[in-house]
Chain A
Amino acid sequence: MNFLEVKGLSRSFGGLRAVQEVSFSVEKNAIKAIIGPNGAGKTTLFNLISGALPPASGQVFISGSPIHGLPPHRIARRGISRTFQNIKLFSRMSVLENVMIGRHIRSRAGFLAAMLRLPRTKAEEREIRETSMDILSLLGIGDLADQEATSLPFGKQRVVEFARALATEPDLILLDEPAAGLNIHETAHISEMIMKIRRRGITVLVIEHDMSLVMNISDEIVVLSSGKKIAEGAPAAIQKNGEVIRVYLGEGDA
């Protein structure tokens, strides 16, 4: 049984059929990349998997149990975490606090306990803080903990988003263009981090444009075009796929 199983997922907006009958699966602890031209429906696909959008039809299974149609916060509790293409960090909160939100599903203090600051809550809070700091240090931005997250440079914000997603201790992480807007060094750093994540036993699904990154890290690639899956396979196979070359890489002068 595959870890993540996507079956016949479809969704349209108005007349635009953003995702049509997309199916694929991801094995436990694999890195799978989704590529395709802008507007191919990649981000919509992520939104469907993470529950941000309900699918019009189709199913999503995680370890065999269905998660389609669940609200995003419930899906998050099933161990799926994500980052966003246009970075969505929480404004007016520090880097550390942003990452601490990631610990939300791993802690349980309620309103009353928090207001009264019960001993149990204090202990939990300490745990949240320490774990979050650990993650920041792991990703090498421990020194930024007290900065306001949204005032950081672009590259750092990506790392914070990463840290936040990791703090949920996910089984599956969805990365939406993690290298967008980053220079070559930062991209290299990101690719290292993705490998690090995988070593922790986390399955990775990544949307990316940077071909060098994609080809380097992914075990398998799904190619989308105009909402449809046009190819799936190992990087080497994808590179040879004529259809992919025609659609994705330009006007087929190969």
Chain B
Amino acid sequence: MLKIRNLNAGYGKLRVLKGVSLHVAPGEIVTIIGGNGSGKSTLLRTVAGIVRAQEGEIMLGGRDISADEPETIVSAGCSLVPEGRLIFNTMTVRENLSLGAYPRLRGDRKTDLQAELEVIFAMFPRLREREYQLGGTLSGGEQQMLAIGRALMARPRLIMLDEPSMGLAPIIVKNIFEEIRKLRGAGNTILLVEQNARAALRIADRGYVIETGQMVLEGTSEELLNNNDVQRAYLGKEYRSIGE
């Protein structure tokens, strides 16, 4: 589904990604873990086209999208749920969701928006309750659901989630991850960037570890969960073992 080879990207003179490669197979949940500033968000933003790739290729379903504009990439079936959610604060939940379907609404005016909305509302009943409320007035967890719902409205083949747990209470995080797991059940392919490494690895099939813009480790979730370096740096294993 997604294949990245030797990707370099950054902001201005600053190079954040240095030769990153990874692949995601259809129907998989793949997670990327790494510390703050290691470049994991930049990676997703580069795939989504918000950050320009300086070198390397990003193949989405056999086509190189590294030079495409974000809107083309969305149309090609790859949606990003950005860090910090970035919902449209001044617009209602319904408007937020319908803008998610923008590329398809433009292409085909007859798209049955209501039916699409029903699908999302079925998935996140909370959003139905808040249908005509402004996005900015939602709680953090609801905003995250809205952001995911908005991305799903584009009917993507690949959903990228950037730190969905950020700033959410543990119980909500749990719900969100539950939803993500369900998404995969519904046949979606998911690329997940998460700071909460343990939670992420628990629902993922495979994982990558990124450090200062380079992939340092790759493996199945099981392997990574048991890897000493990973435990020390990202799972707090070291002191947990002291504690236990």
Contact = CB atoms under 8 A, between A and B. Distances in A.
Q: Do chains A and B touch in the complex (CB under 8 A)?
A: yes
Most chain A beta-carbon neighbours within 10 Å: one of B14, B37, B199: B37
Interface in B159-210: 163, 165-170, 173-174, 195-196, 198-199
Interface in A29-48: 37-39
B196 A37 contact: yes
A226 B169 contact: yes
Interface string B81-108: 0000000000000000000000000000
A181 B35 contact: yes
Interface string A121-161: 00000000000000000000000000000010111000000
A183 B212 contact: yes
B35 A210 contact: yes
A212 B240 contact: no
Interface string A172-191: 00000101111110100000
B38 A181 contact: yes
A38 B167 contact: yes
Nearest to B238: A212
A248 to B, nearest CB: 8
A120 interface: no
A249 B236 contact: yes
Contact of A181 (B37, B168, B232, B235): B37
Most chain B beta-carbon neighbours within 10 Å: one of A154, A236, A247, A252: A154
B217 to A, nearest CB: 12
A151 B37 contact: no
Contacts of B140: 16, 39
Nearest to B169: A226
Contacts of B198: 249-251, 253
A251 B170 contact: yes
B230 to A, nearest CB: 12
B240 A181 contact: no
Nearest to A87: B37
A131 to B, nearest CB: 29
Given A154-B37, A181-B35, A247-B170, A38 B195 contact: yes
Most chain A beta-carbon neighbours within 10 Å: one of B36, B140, B238, B244: B36
A1 interface: no
B172 to A, nearest CB: 10
A246 interface: yes
Given A179-B35, A211-B236, 11 more contacts: A37-B196, A38-B166, A39-B140, A39-B167, A39-B168, A154-B212, A155-B212, A181-B37, A209-B35, A240-B243, A250-B196
Interface of A: 16, 37-39, 85, 151, 153-155, 177, 179-184, 186, 209-212, 215, 226, 235-236, 239-240, 245-247, 249-254
